[in-house]
């Protein structure tokens, strides 16, 4: 963040950019813990190497390798990610954009 955003982003404080990147990074482990395969997530590594999954695991784990990904299983994974990751992320981003737009419109 310090290298990529040396100059201020118009309309955003350094804190809000930092929070954005923190949430993006933290959500990766959280989403991995919601998959139905793999070894789990070592949330407390390197202090504790135990791996965890969340009780609710609706996201299908992606097959490794291009040949295995472009199969019926790969299509199921894409559908799962569209439903559980991309749709909520799009709704959240659209809501934030609309709220910001409404707030800036009130200032005018």
Residue range 17-73, pLDDT digits in tens: 888 889 888 898 999 999 998 889 999 999 999 999 999 999 998 888 878 878 888
pLDDT of residue 72: 87
3 found inside a domain? no
pLDDT tens-digit readout, 60-93: 988 888 788 788 888 898 999 999 999 999 998 8
pLDDT higher than 70, residue 107: no
For residue 7, tell me if it sits in a domain.
no
Full-model pTM: 0.69
Q: What is the CA radius of gyration of the chain?
A: 18
- Residue 108: pLDDT band with limits 50, 70, 90: low
Partner residues linked to 35 by β-bridges: 59
Average pLDDT of every residue of the chain: 85
Sequence-distant (6+) residues with CB within 8 A of 60 are 35, 36, 37, 73, 76, 77, 80, 81
Asked if residue 96 belongs to a domain, the reply is yes
Q: Domain for residue 23, yes or no?
A: no
Residue 100: pLDDT band (50, 70, 90) is confident
Domain that holds residue 51: 33-107
Report the domain count for the chain: 1
């Amino acid at each position: 963040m310090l290298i990529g955003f040396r100059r201020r982003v118009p309309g955003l404080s350094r804190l809000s950019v930092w929070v954005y990147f923190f949430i993006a990074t933290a959500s990766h482990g959280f989403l991995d813990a919601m998959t139905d395969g793999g070894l789990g997530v070592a949330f407390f590594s390197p202090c504790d190497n135990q791996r965890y999954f969340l009780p609710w695991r609706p996201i299908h784990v992606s097959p490794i390798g291009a040949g295995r990904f472009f199969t019926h299983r790969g299509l199921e994974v894409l559908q799962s990610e569209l439903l559980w990751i991309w749709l909520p992320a799009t709704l959240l981003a659209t809501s934030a954009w609309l709220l910001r737009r409404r707030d800036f419109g009130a200032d005018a």
